[in-house]
Amino acid sequence: MAPALVRICQRIVLLALFSTNVAAHAHHDELSEEDASKPVDSILWIHIFLQGFLWGVLFPTGMVLGLSRSRWHVPLQSTGIVLTLGGYLLGHAHKGRAFLASVHGTMANILLLPILTQLVLGVYLKLHIHEQSLRPWAVRLHGLVGKAYPILGWIQMLFGAITFRGYCRGGHLGQCLAHYIMGSGFIAYGTIMAILLLVGEAWIRRSGRSPEWWDSWVIMLWGIVNTFTEHRGSVWSVKDMQHTILGVLWWAGGALGIFLARKNQRTVVPAIIIILTGWAMSEHAQALMISTRVHALFGYTLGLAGVTRIIEICFFAPTFANLSSPSVVTDDSNSDHTLASPREPYAPTLDNAGREAKEEKKAAGKVFRHLPPYLLVAAGLLFMSATDEELDYVHDNEMDHVTYILIMFSISFVLYLLIVSLINLYATSGRNASVPLSSSTHHQEYDDAMGGGIELRTPLSAHGATKWYARVPSRAQTTESRTAEQQHILGEDEEEE
């Protein structure tokens, strides 16, 4: 198998060298008005839509299938690698409109490194050699690079849109960085929150930290950076003062949140910071009326995300405190988050009215839990769409703020659909689909996993499971295993008697 691996790697390297040496005639240091105004040809449109589909849908799907150990992971990622190299060639082969040299072209060359790394590692892992030495490290590196694919794809697609429109040059760079980085941060925040609320509660419990502890650290560190980077020069403008004091607000509030979230306690401080940031953005002075309206709705959306987060924490979220105590039942189905019936030995039996009320509250929690992450995603898109260059273009084309904002919310629906679809795919594919949903119990477990915040804990199949692929067992699994062992021992003792 080793010679075959060498031949494959040689072909990959030759393909990469061929790709990077394609004449990049479509990118120039100087560009005439005639070249910039030429129509976009069909080859470039194919490049745009193909790469958008690959990095926005196919590669994230393949990553999720890899996390769930689905047999479709390898075929999907292999297809994606072949197509993305083809799309790379198309990006240098188009005619018509020309573009200035940009970070998008540089990033395209950089992306060849993780692509080829994944391909080589994938082939190596399929050979099943060096099982006790190199293979475990290769598995970890393969997983790390694979998890970075959605982030790398998002960055490259954003660079492509910026290059296509010719934005973020000259004096506009600072504003672009502020809007696109912070907007992407809100979207990432909403994505991670959706993962934790839908399938990540068991991980939160194992981590020994409440979600707000992590939130507060990120907010505090980001505030420190913003405090010292938002002002340039000797004259303080109104925007400089607003951005700088927002940085102070974040690190001060973040420090308080870290203190209050110690010992796994829940706190609403991060949500309050989000609300105050949304209010500040809604009052941000802008040159154009359309910009003022878009910033205002961004602020309202962000503030509403903070409000819904407070409601979710106070009324629907679990309490993670004292989980290390042996007297506390740590089964996910017994948490306030899932709102399932208690399993304590001496818990009182609920009457029908009480049981119905509990089920109604549980159902309401499942529905409500989507609001905070979705609003964060929508707020992030609105902020990314509110740069001066974008809104100048919209204003020049006589589009009103209502139409523009509705377009952004439509995109946010599509993006959140992709996010929850990938979460659903993880919960129902690969190892997580190994237990058939034939009984009502299994149906309830799946329903809880997608709406009630339980991480799926289906057993590994008997074949091919190694410690490098196995998840860290949850406390519920350990408890169930010990209970089964005790029952088995008692059964043997009774038979002996």
Same domain, 52 and 93: yes
Residue whose entry in the numeric block shows the structure tokens 């409601």: 311
For the chain, give me the number of helices (H) and strands (E)? Answer: 19, 2
Q: What six digits make up the tokens of 299?
A: 């602020």
* pLDDT exceeds cutoff 60 at 444: no
Calpha distance 9→1 (Å, rounded):
12
Q: Answer yes or no: is 41 within a domain.
A: yes
Classify residue 487: in a domain, yes or no. no
Domain final residue, candidates 147, 166, 185: 166
CA distance 262 to 212: 10
**Maximum alpha-carbon separation in the chain:** 96
pLDDT surpasses 90 at 34: no
Task: With a cut of 50, say whether residue 437 has pLDDT above it.
Answer: no
The pLDDT of residue 426 is 93
199 lies in the same domain as 148: no
pLDDT category of residue 487 using cuts at 50, 70 and 90: low
Same domain, 40 and 112: yes
Residue 485 lies in a domain: no
**Whole-number pLDDT of residue 261:** 92
Q: Where are the beta strands (DSSP E) in 66-178?
A: 99-100
Report yes or no: 97 and 35 within 8 Å, Cβ to Cβ: yes
| pLDDT for 166 beyond 50 | yes
Give the per-residue pLDDT at 486. Answer: 54
Report d(CA 183, CA 385) in Å as an integer: 9
Say if residues 60 and 149 touch (Cβ distance below 8 Å).
Answer: yes
Which residue range forms the structural domain that includes residue 427?
172-458+466-479
Q: Are residues 194 and 114 in the same domain?
A: no
Average pLDDT over residues 367-379: 93
Amino acid at 342: P
494 belongs to a structural domain: no
pLDDT score recorded for residue 271: 95
Alpha-carbon distances of 362 from 72, 142, 203, 355, 376, rounded to whole Å: 34, 39, 21, 10, 23
Q: Which tens digit of pLDDT belongs to each residue from 381-420?
A: 999 999 989 999 998 998 999 999 999 999 999 999 999 9
> Which of 120, 140, 166 is a domain's end point?
166
Lowest mean pLDDT among 275-289, 338-352, 402-416, 465-479: 465-479
Given pLDDT bands bounded at 50, 70 and 90, which one contains residue 458? very low
Same domain, 320 and 418: yes
Task: Please determine, for residue 452, whether its predicted confidence score (pLDDT) is greater than 70.
Answer: no
Q: Cα dist. 296→24, 286, 396 in Å?
A: 42, 10, 20
What is the band of 479 on the pLDDT scale with cuts at 50, 70, 90?
low
pLDDT bin (cut points 50, 70, 90) of residue 19 is very low
Based on the domain organization, do 283 and 364 belong to the same domain?
yes
Does one domain contain both 160 and 186? no
- pLDDT number for residue 117: 93
Identify whether the C-beta of residue 269 lies closer than 8 Å to the C-beta of residue 256.
Answer: yes
Judgement on whether residues 20 and 67 belong to the same structural domain of the protein? yes
Q: What's the Rg (C-alpha) of the chain? A: 26
Domain-located, residue 492: no
Selected residue with higher pLDDT from 276 and 489: 276
The mean pLDDT of the chain is 77
Q: How many domains does the chain have?
A: 2
Segment (H or E) for 105:
helix 103-127
Looking at mean pLDDT, say which of 128-142, 224-238, 325-339, 467-481 comes out highest. Answer: 128-142
> What pLDDT does 172 receive?
83
pLDDT for residue 300: 96
Instruction: Evaluate if residue 64 carries a pLDDT over 60.
Output: yes
Helix (H, G, I), strand (E, B) or coil at 460: coil
- In total, the chain counts a number of residues equal to 497
